[in-house]
Amino acid sequence: MTRIDNLFSRFPEVIFIELHNCPDGFQGTHRAYKNYFYVYYNADLNEPTVYASILHELTHYTRGDVAYSEKNEYQTNIETSYDLVSINEVVDYNANNPELDDYAIAEHFNITIKQLHELVSAHYIKDGFTPPSGLLFSDYM
C-alpha cells in the first residue's frame, strides 16, 4: 500500500477526485459542499508531490473547515473558499512564496483580490492597527 492509498483509507469519508492534464502549477484543491469534503489532485505529478498536495488539502478537513450548513447550500465555490481560508494560512503561504504577488496568492486560495484584502484588513484591525489603504498584501506583512 502506497502512502497515498494509506491517506485514502484513513479518510474514507473524504471524496478524492483524480484529475489529469491539469494546467501548469495546479497541484490540488478542496471544496466543502453539503457536509461533504472533496479533494481534487493532479494525478500526473510524481508521487511525493501528489502526496504532499493531498496532505495539504486534508489539513483543511482535519481543522474542521468542512462545516457547511444547509442554508448556505448555494454558495459559490469562491464564497466557500473564502469561508475556509484563515489569515494564518495566507501569511504562511506568503512567507514561503515571497516572489508571488497578491493575484497569485488570491488565485491559490481561490478567492478574489478584494476578499484577500478584506482578510488582511480584518487581521490588522484584530491586532489593534488601522490597515493601510491602497497597499498590496505583500506590503502588509
- How is the chain split into domains, by residue range? 1-74, 85-141
**Can you give the pLDDT at residue 1?**
66
User: Tell me, what's the pLDDT at 16?
Assistant: 92
| 137 CB neighbour count, 10 Å cutoff | 21
More confident position, 122 or 57: 57
In percent, the amount of the chain with pLDDT more than 70 equals 67
pTM of the model: 0.46
Distance CA 16, CA 36 (A): 11
- CATH class of the domain at 1-74: alpha beta
Listing DSSP states for 55-74 in one string gives HHHHHHHHTTTT---GGGTT
Compute the distance between CA of residue 119 and CA of residue 86 in angstroms, rounded to an integer: 8
Residue located via cell numbers 473558499: 81
pLDDT (tens digit per residue) in 51-88: 988 888 888 777 665 444 333 443 445 555 566 677 77
Q: Taking Cα atoms as reference points, which of 23, 110, 121, 117 lies closest to residue 65? A: 110
Q: Report the distance separating Cα 123 and Cα 120, nearest Å.
A: 5
In 3D space, the residue among 3, 1, 42, 2 whose CA is nearest the CA of residue 19 turns out to be 42
Residues forming a β-bridge with 42: 19
Lookup: cell for 84 = 475556509
- 49 versus 34: which is more confidently predicted? 49
